Amino acid sequence: VANKAQKPAPPPEAATSHPTYRIQQRFSVPFAYETVFTRDALDPDNAALVEVIARREPTRRHRILAVVDAGLAAAWPELSGWLTAYCDRHAQRLELIAAPTIIAGGEAAKNDPDVIARLHAVFHQHKLDRHSFVLIVGGGAVQDAAGFAAATAHRGIRTVRMPTTVLAQADSGVGVKNGINLFGSKNFVGTFVPPFAVINDGRFLERLATRDRVAGLAEAVKVALIRDASFFTALETAAPALAAFDRDATADVIQRCAELHLRHIATCGDPFELGSARPLDFGHWAAHKLETLTAHELRHGEAVAIGIVLDSRYSFLAGLLPEEDFERIHHVIGRLGLPRWHDALAIPGAGGRPLVLEGLDEFREHLGGDLTITLLRGIGQALDVHQMDGALIEKALGWMRAGQTTSPKP
């Protein structure tokens, strides 16, 4: 009671009256890693993997633990034997310390924190140290989860990523982020850590489900739209071949997309996203919300395709993007076999407004600072804005709904 009656303490005297000593700390850390595009990376005659692993200490024997996507392991039962044969052949430089650790494929890897605990336990059991290698073989979700586990054990164990989906080879697998979902929020927990190296093996794509092959192309459309008009034209030309999953056309797109992504990280001046702008997340504010709203029934790439249509339509309605450019975007997404609508877009939220609009606020929260959304003022020309007009978003959604194609079926 007495405490309640007390007056608040007076403000401290002006800061100048306090002796102050400051030390300015400043250093920078150069990062360098190689992304190798190859086929049959686990053929013992293919030296790419052993070379990237041994690049810093060529005479040492390197300890390797593989973490493998369960979906990939089911599609490629040969994988474990290949790994053993590869490390046997290169036994002077590689030591496979255990059978691969298999973790759930797809978003399940990121939705269950026990996956991380289990990986930490395996790393501990096998005494991995900061110079050991975790070889992560799998889709983007497994890369994100196992990458996070490796980044947080001993404050960071080296990783070599072997992404095995179109999306992961073209986009997420070559980048610097990892993370898992928590509290129903995409990538709520995660770190920025560049990999030691990336090996993109086109062979793995051969047994990927059609739906996953197609979904990955959305990130190529995205990066073309914000960075490279000629790449977008190439995507239009190649769309029929890509939709039919022509091997060479797909390999070209993956390589070009990965190059644009890597160039952005190297030259944007903000590789660890300390600012609020995130052009590579064009179309993603709605996409992340849609993934959650559909309980991840929608693939990330599918959600991104829908998010691109929404933000492109919005850009047009806001008077930023010429209508013929919007038409080209809408057309190529359909031609690639990507979805342009999902019924979850129509789920009502507070005040009857579409629930997906909450994605804007969640996006801002995830980034911090002011809301920054990337829109388009042309194909290959991005533009940052700091607010979006809810009524105009609803108008864009109304247009999309009116012309809806069917939602993808699992």
Restricting to residues 135-164, name those near ligand NAD by CB under 6 A.
138-142, 144, 164
**Using CB under 6 A, which of 62, 161, 300, 328 touches ligand NAD?**
300
Restricting to residues 175-214, name those near ligand NAD by CB under 6 A.
175, 177-178, 204, 207-208, 212
**Using CB under 6 A, which of 202, 283, 301, 339 touches ligand NAD?**
301
Q: What is the C-alpha to C-alpha distance for residues 150 and 145, in angstroms, rounded to an integer?
A: 9
Q: Which is closer to ligand NAD, CB of 144 or CB of 325? A: 144
Residue 167 makes contact with ligand NAD by CB under 6 A: yes
CB atoms within 10 A of CB 170: 29
> What binding mask, one character per residue, do residues 90-109 give for ligand NAD by CB under 6 A, x or -?
---------------xxx--
Rounded to a whole number of angstroms, the minimum distance from the CB of residue 384 to ligand NAD is: 19
Q: Which is closer to ligand NAD, CB of 233 or CB of 255? A: 255
The separation between the first and the last C-alpha atoms of the chain, rounded to the nearest angstrom, is: 63
> What binding mask, one character per residue, do residues 50-79 give for ligand NAD by CB under 6 A, x or -?
-------------------xxxx--x----
Task: Provide the b/e sequence for 62-72 (b: ≥16 CB within 10 Å).
Answer: bbbbbbbbbbb
Structure token pair of residue 18: 């306090």
Rounded to a whole number of angstroms, the minimum distance from the CB of residue 239 to ligand NAD is: 19
Q: Which residues contact 341 (CB under 8 A, 6 or more apart)?
A: 306, 309, 400, 401, 403, 404, 405, 407
Q: Which is closer to ligand NAD, CB of 208 or CB of 360? A: 208
**Using CB under 6 A, which of 132, 152, 159, 165 touches ligand NAD?**
165
Q: What is the C-alpha to C-alpha distance for residues 285 and 306, in angstroms, rounded to an integer?
A: 11
**Span interacting with ligand NAD, options 25-33, 169-177, 248-256, 323-331, rule CB under 6 A:** 169-177
Q: What is the C-alpha to C-alpha distance for residues 45 and 16, in angstroms, rounded to an integer?
A: 69
Restricting to residues 216-245, name those near ligand NAD by CB under 6 A.
216
Binding site residues, ligand NAD, CB under 6 A: 69-72, 75, 105-107, 110, 138-142, 144, 164-165, 167-168, 171-172, 175, 177-178, 204, 207-208, 212, 215-216, 299-301
